[in-house]
Structure 1
């Protein structure tokens, strides 16, 4: 009989023998100080999985979730896997237009939202044909837990193959139309096992979890790492630099985006004494400035481990954890992980010489199968070499040195990464261009000391029209997630163009490069 490849089965098998031990300690919020045992995780996920099962959903149904971070929200993710369905995490900042698109595209059988958003989310969901809408709040409130409380606390995990879909993560495209990256149980399990070994997870490790759980970094990389190692998590619903530093005593591992490290460096309590039990600090989801890398080493004595991944692939490369595997080199994202093949090619599709910049392509067991209901886009994003090997085009530009260390030098699709979040200019430009009086717009990212990149919009008005930048930004805030809203909006007479009429965003970026100092 073939073994059950359900990711939940692998995670559950890694629970420690003593199920009464603490799995998660809540560090903040309405239930600060609460402890969840491994038995609590097992029983809680069983009850939620039984609730989903009681709804009579077909195997592989989508469950869309937009809730604030909580241990119960993590249990819901695990329960969806356990029940054999597909988890669809949605950023808590998304507004009605965005949620409407995701629900319409994914056609989830179940939607779970915050109690405060039930009125508008349920209206969108029911209009799109969703059969069930539940609520889940930070204070352990909402209809989801009320309904699950009546369910048995034992559940046999659904049988899944490695190729069965486990999650869909929406990532914006340059056209402004979001794409749902389909990740299988095998994709996620392979990557988690690789990282467990490569990052040298140790018995007794304690993870500080201060990331959101609606994207790869917090939901998969951090949570899977701790669960697969049977490690306790110190759970922050919201990142607070001073509080996070205070909880490092007794902890050993932390993962964060560069913004988190910048903010902790601003705290005088960040000292070598404060981090003396810590073993590993990992940074990702956005480029790490050399200044941040050096300042962290100087203040703490720890060398940040920078790595590189995508929604479509989870982790691809990483600086070494063990000294025996090599140094952690600033400005690089390390070598490709074991099992991952990475190549750099030129515009003609020819492999680039060592140290030469080109387009990064990858393959491996962690690479997704394609985009949800977008066969043409999927075909466009993969290429096949002369040996018949299939490669995913990352859209990133970089180089590989002789020692296999990878350096990312840019992004070929004008992607902006601000505070660890991916932002595609075309989506914001679409909203701007629809505003009265706007002839055209260009959205760019420029260096920002805190967020890595700050979003800036440059807008041209129709002849005779008068535009109010503050009012336009206010209108955007009501339409899209706040992290996408430009920090500055400039009204200009025209946009720079090349001979083919294409807007030269590189000139705009250079013009506004010093905007944030």
Structure 2
């Protein structure tokens, strides 16, 4: 059996190769056969540059049909796809490229000069460009290719993607996802969510993230469905296209913004069968407000970069607000105490997960994988949760101080290390506080070394220069000292309580 994920995508379109697969915001339609041919042309380019199975291809480009074809081409050739958030700054990119050691980097034309300098430093031999309109040196090279590249056979444990998630120590970790991980999770989701060739997904998510790239795209491709492809999220654009679609996936911010539109109603959603939310906690008030306005109960699920999807509220059955539903078929979830013993129903503990969806380990960090996996193969998610008597899972907190803002993960230590190095800063603590639009927002609590040191605007500006925008603090608060417990550990729970209303 060929476990190559793209081979399974292609099998779902046999006999329907010329049916629309993707329709852009401006009405341009692409059939599967067109996408498949373009994918093969790009695969020819990769092979010509010496990209081989297992080689990394680092990509920082705007969302576009061409960018999707590049992802498919990497799958097709057995290369390892490394998507990079468009918001990452040079210092962040230098680390990711230096650690992944890709054979090829693909970026937009505006970033080419900077990316070539990074590539030279990392020893990467090739840099190509791909722009949001589909132009660039990669596109030009692909135009000259025959497009007859066969789909490479893969084993289930061959790497398909490498995504980076910053750790609590501030050192980003490369999360290794295999063809088997992505295939197993995709197949589970199309069954759990009832996907078929009759569905059209309204795709408004970014594709440098698990949610938009692996969850949304895999559900479409493994069911033979189609999608309306938006370059980015805009509530009015979403409302315009909802009447022609059947499924929508978003982060909680997407739903609160739809509810803020006065003309958003049940009529807008008349053709819809399913709304899915994830990547950040969905507030119960949003769940109920959406139900009241549209008659649709949002299906909330739970996943991570390391695991894809772990649990989901049922398609047919009770969708309980405040929970992330039941473990998906083939996925085991358990709640344990500090000694690793399973706790009774409705008691809070550490959430662990095991299944074919769980990643293969951290890139070149076997010692970290050893720390994060139990002896019987469960992954320690770092989330605190509980499971009720009916099996519904609720996430009640995080024991790693993770901040989730607009569906994107921010690990405080990474921001703290940067802020602490700024002139005049003695120390800092970074927390997440409630935010009406993003769910949580990053706030830095800073102790200054001198009275005439940086002010709030200075620190935010410095962060914006070096860190991705979503990691940059929305506010900086100055204190004489940070609260600490008897072991001198900063009490971030106290800070979160103190500044809970800061952005209200």
Note whether the superposition's TM-score is higher than 0.5.
Answer: yes
Partner of 1:275: 269
Q: Aligned runs of 1:312-391 on 2, under 5 Å?
A: 312-322=306-316, 326-384=317-375, 389-391=376-378
Q: Aligned runs of 1:203-222 on 2, under 5 Å?
A: 203-222=197-216
Question: Does the Cα contact within 8 Å between 1:245 and 1:269 map onto a contact in 2?
Answer: no
Question: Does the Cα contact within 8 Å between 2:196 and 2:224 map onto a contact in 1?
Answer: no
Partner of 1:100: 94
Q: Aligned runs of 1:79-228 on 2, under 5 Å?
A: 79-228=73-222
**Aligned-residue offset at 1:353:** 0.6
CA distance in 1, matches of 2:104, 2:443: 37
CA distance in 1, matches of 2:110, 2:453: 37
Q: Which runs of 5+ in 1 are unaligned?
A: none
Question: Does the Cα contact within 8 Å between 1:62 and 1:88 map onto a contact in 2?
Answer: yes
Runs in 1 of length 4+ with deviation above 3 angstroms?
A: none
Partner of 2:487: 500
Q: Does 1:448 align with 2:445?
A: no
**Aligned-residue offset at 1:465:** 4.1
CA distance in 2, matches of 1:220, 1:427: 26
Partner of 2:502: 515
- Secondary structure at the aligned position of 1:183 is classed as strand
Question: Does the Cα contact within 8 Å between 1:344 and 1:360 map onto a contact in 2?
Answer: yes
CA distance in 2, matches of 1:196, 1:76: 23
Q: Deviations over 1:327-375 (max 9, x none)?
A: 0000000010000011000011111011100000010011111000001
**Aligned-residue offset at 1:18:** 2.6
Among 286, 294, 299, the alignment partner of 1:292 is 286
Question: Does the Cα contact within 8 Å between 1:467 and 1:491 map onto a contact in 2?
Answer: no
- Secondary structure at the aligned position of 2:141 is classed as helix
**Aligned-residue offset at 1:16:** 4.9
Q: Does 1:394 align with 2:394?
A: no
Q: Aligned runs of 1:256-267 on 2, under 5 Å?
A: 256-267=250-261
**Aligned-residue offset at 1:4:** 1.3
Question: Does the Cα contact within 8 Å between 1:59 and 1:85 map onto a contact in 2?
Answer: yes
**Aligned-residue offset at 1:210:** 0.2
Q: Does 1:468 align with 2:455?
A: yes
TM-score between both structures, scaled by the size of structure 2: 0.99
CA distance in 1, matches of 2:201, 2:192: 16
- Secondary structure at the aligned position of 1:248 is classed as helix
CA distance in 1, matches of 2:147, 2:3: 22
Q: Deviations over 1:80-138 (max 9, x none)?
A: 00011100010000000000000000000010011111111111012210011011001
Question: Does the Cα contact within 8 Å between 1:16 and 1:230 map onto a contact in 2?
Answer: no
Aligned length: 504
CA distance in 1, matches of 2:216, 2:70: 16
CA distance in 2, matches of 1:354, 1:113: 49
TM-score between both structures, scaled by the size of structure 1: 0.96
Partner of 2:303: 309
Partner of 1:14: 12
Question: Does the Cα contact within 8 Å between 2:330 and 2:356 map onto a contact in 1?
Answer: yes
**Aligned-residue offset at 1:148:** 1.0
- Secondary structure at the aligned position of 2:58 is classed as strand
CA distance in 2, matches of 1:15, 1:255: 22
**Aligned-residue offset at 1:58:** 3.3
Question: Does the Cα contact within 8 Å between 1:136 and 1:142 map onto a contact in 2?
Answer: yes
- Secondary structure at the aligned position of 2:374 is classed as strand
User: C-alpha root-mean-square deviation of aligned residues, in Å?
Assistant: 0.9
Question: Does the Cα contact within 8 Å between 1:252 and 1:278 map onto a contact in 2?
Answer: yes
